Amino acid sequence: MTSRIIASLNRQEKALALLAMLQREEFTHLRVLDPTKVAGLEFSIHELLRQIAVERTELRAIYATIVPAAKRLSEVIHTFSEDQRQRAQALYEGIDRREQACSRQAELNFKMALGFYDQSRSCVEFIQKQLVPTRNVYTAAGRYARATAEPTLVSGRM
């Protein structure tokens, strides 16, 4: 069981290293405004996050086979040999460091994407405001069109 736990922790650490690499690549594509590549990377990132979540769920099931109420490594690590304990602890600390680095990079990517979204939205709103006529203009049929379609009360008989 302990070897399966260590193997799972090792896979998680490698997955988080891959996640960090994908996030850095996403940031690079965000900087050069390449939305197609960003979208492709997003799919890869989400799939990797799904796989990490599955790995963690399976790891908790392994913990429960050792100690039924266990949900964390700290609750089962006392059953490991000394060298396995050190290896598991080192992997756990590496996972924690990589998670924090991935979290910081995700925050940077989010801020950049949100900034581009705000910029694009304000540009579109500006263009839309410029397209709407402010006074009466001729239509294609040669008649005046109302500049704004304001709501009015309809009176009369039905």
Note the pTM of the prediction, 2 decimals.
Answer: 0.75
Q: Is residue 81 part of a domain?
A: yes
pLDDT at 133 over 90: no
Give the residue numbers spanning the domain of 43: 1-106
CB burial of 81-116 (b: ≥16 within 10 Å; e: otherwise) equals: eeeebebbeebbebbeebbebbeebbeebeeebeee
Per residue in 115-128, pLDDT (tens digit) is 888 888 888 888 88
Q: Is residue 9 part of a domain?
A: yes
Report how many domains make up the chain.
1
pLDDT at 56 over 90: yes
> How far are the Cα atoms of 13, 30, 50, 86, 104 from residue 25, in angstroms, in the given order?
19, 9, 19, 33, 14
Q: Is residue 27 part of a domain?
A: yes
Q: Is residue 121 part of a domain?
A: no
pLDDT-above-70 percentage for the chain:
84
- Other beta carbons within 10 Å of 39: 11
Q: Is residue 148 part of a domain?
A: no
Q: Is residue 118 part of a domain?
A: no
- What does the alpha-carbon distance between residue 22 and residue 41 come to, in Å, rounded to a whole number? 7
